Structures are given as C-alpha cells and as structure tokens.
Amino acid sequence: MAMMRFFMLLFLLGSMTRLIAQETADSLKIISVDTRDGNNYIGKVIVETNDSLILLTDKLGLLRFGKSDVQTIRHLEKVNARTGEYWLPNPQSSRYFWAPNGYGLKKGESYYQNIWVMYNQVSFGLTDHFSLGGGIFPVFLLGAEVVPVWLVPKFSLPLAKEKINLGTGAFLGSVIGENTGIFGLLYGTATFGSRDKNMSIGMAYGFGDGEWMTKPVINLSTMIRMGPKSYFISENYLLPFGNQQTGIISLGGRSMIRKIGVDYSLWIPVGADIGSFIALPFLGITVPLK
C-alpha cells in the first residue's frame, strides 16, 4: 500500500509539473528571430540575457543563440497562431497598395516602401495615433535637374478596437529645382474591420497652384488575409474629370517573404471614354525598419 501511494504521488507530481510547464510555456513571449546567417526561427522565449537567447521551437526544440548572431527580433501575438502556423504581422497594415486606411503605425514602428524602383518613402510612428513619412522620386539618377519630394502626415483614431478606425492626413508634395509651390491631397478615411480583414471608404480633395478640386476623389479598398503569408488587396478610385467620372480598379495581393512584404496587382481604368481594355502592372515592396 505504501508503495502504491508512493507511485501515485510521483504520478501526481509529474502531472502537475507538466501542467505548470505547459501553462508557463503558453504564457511566454512568442518571437521571430532572424539570424545573421540568413535563417529564421519562431518560438517562445525561455531565457534571455544580455548575451544569449534560448528559444523553444515546435520542430527543433530548445535552441540557444548568441546575441551577436541575431540580426532582428520581432514579437508575435499568440492569437495569430492558427493550425500550428504563426501568422507573421502585416508589414504595412496601415495602407493598401498606396492608399491609407484608418489604422496607424504604432509608436516606434517604421517602414520603407518602394514602388517600381523610383517611388521611395519612409514612414515613422511618432505616437500610437500620429505618423510622419517622407519620400523622394530620384529622377536625378536619370539626368533630370528637378527632384519631386513629399511629406505624408497622418492621424488615426480608433473608435472601436479592431472594428472601426478613422484616419485623416495629407500628401504634401513639391519639386526641388522648380518654383511649383506645394501641391497634394487632403484626405479622410473610415476603416471597418481588423488589421487583417477590413474595408475602407475614403474621400480626398487635391490642390495645386493655389486652387482646389471642386469634386472629391473617392476611394474604396479592401484587404483580406488569405493565409499565414498572403493577403488579397483591392484598391479602387472614382476620379472626377470635368463633368465626367473615371474609375480605376485594382486587383492583387501582398505576399510576405520573411519580414518583407511584396505587393503586386493590375490596375484597370474604366469609364465611357476608355477605348480598349488596359491593365497596368503594379509592383512594390515594404521593408519594416523597426
């Protein structure tokens, strides 16, 4: 009897230990680690010191890294773990291909965006509700003597967390080397849904040479997460031209290669004055800086 009680005690202690270990593991931080030799690992932080990091991975078990071997560390949310795969964060959840939505960058976040090599922009989250970006179109590389530059301030206001977000801001451009003054857009947008699945409707007024557009540009866009590393994106515009309206429809997506987002789509002008079918390709990348 005493021996049976002893084994029962060992069994209970073992079960409690496993339960405590499981509970502790479930509460640990989940991170993505990029090493300097080009590999990526996702797991839970067991121990982290100034010099080393011990990670619990699903397939490789415990791994130890020297901090000198680690290039970047990104924190992942546990709620993004589905069907055994961690869903990496969207590198540009505050925008579609180009148009902004109601979400903003979090304080300290930043990214670099490039479209067809020549469009270059860097954006920084200065607070959780305000971001500032700046860009350049380096046509001087092609021998031009003028350089288009711009600023993109943006305010975001969450009305209902992960459900309704409002955004407002501007695209303020100028051309260095010419006396063009300031031109650009002032916009407002409302976004319904989460960062991974949403729809936005927005309105913008353009200005230049001291004059404003008499009719707004209307934007309707959507972004839907299709899997751990892919999104479907559609960004669409209704543009005023005199007494007529012209539309632009885009269909495409975003794929994530490690921490880089690759955007691709076809842009199709539609309207009564559009003669034949035209589909213009779009290609861009987004690289998180922090």
pLDDT the model gives residue 84: 57
Q: Within 13 Å, how many C-alpha atoms sit on residue 199's CB side?
A: 1
Band (pLDDT 50/70/90 cuts) for residue 80 is low
Does 154 share its domain with 239? yes
CATH label of the domain that carries residue 117: 2.40.160.40
Does 27 share its domain with 137? no
**107, containing H or E segment:** none
Taking the C-alpha atoms of residue 125 and residue 106, their distance in angstroms, rounded to an integer, is: 5
126 within a domain of the structure (yes/no):
yes
128 within a domain of the structure (yes/no):
yes
Residue identified by tokens 């405590």 is 20
CB 195 within 8 A of CB 90: yes
Given 86, 120, 150, which residue is the final one in a domain?
86
Does 31 share its domain with 173? no
Does 119 share its domain with 58? no
135 within a domain of the structure (yes/no):
yes
Does 260 share its domain with 121? yes
Domain, as residue range, for 8: 2-86
Q: Is the dihedral of CA 98, 103, 104, 107 positive or negative?
A: negative
Does 276 share its domain with 159? yes
CATH label of the domain that carries residue 76: 2.30.30.100
CB 171 within 8 A of CB 150: yes
Does 261 share its domain with 161? yes
Q: Within 13 Å, how many C-alpha atoms sit on residue 66's CB side?
A: 4
Query: Which is more confidently placed, 122 or 27?
Result: 122
Number of compact structural domains in the chain: 2
Q: Is the dihedral of CA 139, 240, 237, 99 positive or negative?
A: positive
pLDDT for 90 beyond 70: yes
267 within a domain of the structure (yes/no):
yes
pLDDT for 172 beyond 70: yes
Taking the C-alpha atoms of residue 130 and residue 191, their distance in angstroms, rounded to an integer, is: 16
Does 262 share its domain with 150? yes
Given 86, 121, 136, which residue is the final one in a domain?
86
186 within a domain of the structure (yes/no):
yes
Residue identified by tokens 């999104």 is 231
Predicted model pTM = 0.77
Residues 6+ apart with CB under 8 A from 120: 112, 113, 114, 135, 136, 137, 138
pLDDT for 83 beyond 60: no
17 within a domain of the structure (yes/no):
yes
pLDDT for 162 beyond 60: yes
Mean residue pLDDT across the chain = 84
217 within a domain of the structure (yes/no):
yes
pLDDT for 174 beyond 50: yes
CB 101 within 8 A of CB 189: yes
pLDDT for 157 beyond 90: yes
Does 64 share its domain with 138? no
Does 162 share its domain with 275? yes
pLDDT for 11 beyond 80: no
CA-wise closest residue to 190 among 214, 160, 213: 160
Does 67 share its domain with 115? no
191 within a domain of the structure (yes/no):
yes
pLDDT for 78 beyond 80: no
